[in-house]
Structure 1
């Protein structure tokens, strides 16, 4: 995976003035666009699209400052059809428009070319198991929320708090498949996993494929397949979020598996009364790499 990401970065650098065909490139690298985008954003800390824009504007800053031709010509050479579109992208990266930077010589914010490396630190091994699951149905109460990478997501908290106690008890009684108990389900994530993008959050339970789902509940149908199950224990949600991040930095680069499209599921196995600490399982859908 590390090699594929570096080849992706090299390809971006050679084709900064062209539209990036991530699906075709992922196929040539022996992986999928979904997995490549998810791993890039997790390890780089930004979506692939944002990295491409920053690199384009870093390179474009040179001819802008040096006064090499008109701004329309520079825009076209860097993949933009108009000075307006180029100006918006330029300002978003540098904090000032190209005309202002040409006049004043700045400000400029440089995005260096990325290089991915796998660092072995001898940290505690991740507690993981692989599960081959039949098709299942995740049912419960769903809402749309923004993605927040660190800390408590207040939108999810508000959604759960809005449900009456009877709704939680009803869901628990419905649960009849693994993962057991009340589940935190995230679906329809943006492939780049950009902070603030919307996802579907479902507070629910897992049902077997033959168990009927009540009509008044939302449902996510999940096809049969393999799952990687990661166990975390400690301060919540920090421990769970650290484990989630480590799947990208440690586990996927070191194992012959990749993410496949589908929801991520968190099962809370044990927790303190105030939820300050918890033992959880993070279920991620995977396929052989």
Structure 2
């Protein structure tokens, strides 16, 4: 069974459990990956978080049921996973623009969110630059936060974390702890701090993210989180050169193309484990972004 088939079977499972107990872990098992990887794959391919997709599908089915049955609204709320009449009414009105009781009126306009289906993305207009590399173990250190993989629909938590570290001086302190200045490198214009995620288990609905520097003999990691990254075979994807203000967008674009295009046709499976984001200075006023994922050949 290939990558896309597994994803579609996971969607089959979710569709069959929208009106009952839906186990995200079981959906991830069907997709043959961890919950973390399943949630990220889904959100990058579909441009919507997994939990939001399920919410919209449940409210779509609830609206249809209101129009074609006499079910009580409180029973409908419980059927589709809401703890109370009020919480269901708020969610229903937010999506459909009317209350559940109004949804039964003839002529009322409701919204329908269709079931998704995964297919091969055929593109010939934009190449993807990647390399497969075996790397020995290495260590990183830096500033860690734990983020929700369920309640972050716009993927804004990590960018805000970066901005906060720049504004409060934490980024520059980490830069100094890596002792880049001793090597004659300056803070301005250097992309010496990178991003790492999913390097340890923090629970089903969260993941760790770290602003990090590679640990060297010149580093001073005291007071920072240290992580040992085991030996892996890595697929490394590199963006085109871009401006400094495009770093975040280019990294997100790489992730989207990895999940929606490369994995389905590469002959590799993505392993659960650390993911690395590298931000590099080209030395000519431009920058590049890299995404590293641990892989195994099928």
TM range (shorter): 0.7 to 0.9
Taking the aligned partners of 1:29 and 1:158, their CA distance within structure 2 comes to: 35
Tell me the alpha carbon deviations over residues 164-210 of structure 1, each in whole angstroms, 9 at most, x when there is no partner. 867524414499xxxxx72311435999xx9xx996341x32126x9
Q: Say which of 248, 266, 281 aligns to 2:290.
A: 281
Q: Which moved more, 1:17-26 or 1:152-161?
A: 152-161
Aligned pair partner of 2:235 in 228, 231, 235: 228
Q: List alignment gaps of at least 5 residues for structure 2.
A: 183-190
Q: 1:212 to 1:268 in 2, by over 3 A?
A: closer
1:23 maps to what in 2? Answer: 25
Say which is worse superposed, 159-168 or 249-258, in terms of deviation.
Answer: 159-168
The equivalent position to 2:51 in structure 1, one of 42, 49, 52, is 49
Deviation per CA, 1:235-260: give whole Å up to 9, x if none.
23243332232111211111222142
Query: Could you tell me whether the CA contact under 8 Å between 1:65 and 1:105 is conserved in 2?
Result: no
Match of 1:120 in 2: 122
Give the structure 2 partner of residue 134 of structure 1. Answer: 136
CA contact (8 A) 1:145 1:156 kept: no
Q: Could you say what the CA RMSD is over the residues aligned between the two structures, in angstroms?
A: 3.8
Identify the match of residue 270 of structure 2 among 258, 266, 274.
258
The 5 Å alignment of 1:195-214 reads: 200-202=209-211, 204-207=212-215, 214=221
Partners of 1:149 and 1:132 in 2: CA distance: 30
- Structure 1: how far apart are the matches of 2:162 and 2:22? 34
SS in 2 for 1:12: helix
Query: Shift in Å at residue 108 of structure 1?
Result: 1.8
User: Does the residue aligned with 1:285 lie in a helix, a strand or coil?
Assistant: strand
Task: Give the Cα–Cα distance (whole angstroms) in 1 for the partners of residues 38 and 75 of structure 2.
Answer: 33
Matches within 5 A, 1:1-289: 1-66=3-68, 68-103=70-105, 106-142=108-144, 153=159, 155-161=161-167, 162-163=169-170, 168-173=175-180, 182-187=192-197, 200-202=209-211, 204-207=212-215, 214-235=221-242, 236-237=246-247, 238-255=249-266, 256-273=268-285, 277-288=286-297
Q: Distance in 2 between matches of 1:144 and 1:73?
A: 36
SS where residue 134 of structure 2 aligns? strand
With normalisation by structure 2, the TM-score equals 0.75
Q: Gaps (5+ residues) in structure 1?
A: 176-180
Cα distance in 2, alignment partners of residues 260 and 141 from structure 1? 22
Decide whether aligned partners of structure 1 residues 37 and 212 sit closer, same or farther in structure 2, where only a CA change above 3 A counts.
same
Residue 158 of structure 1 deviates from its aligned partner by 4.3
Offset of residue 112 of structure 1: 0.9
Which residue of structure 2 aligns with residue 178 of structure 1? none
Structure-2 separation of matches of 1:141 and 1:75: 42
1:108-166 deviation per Cα after TM superposition (whole angstroms, max 9, x unaligned): 2210111221132223432212233333221134457897659x946524423525867
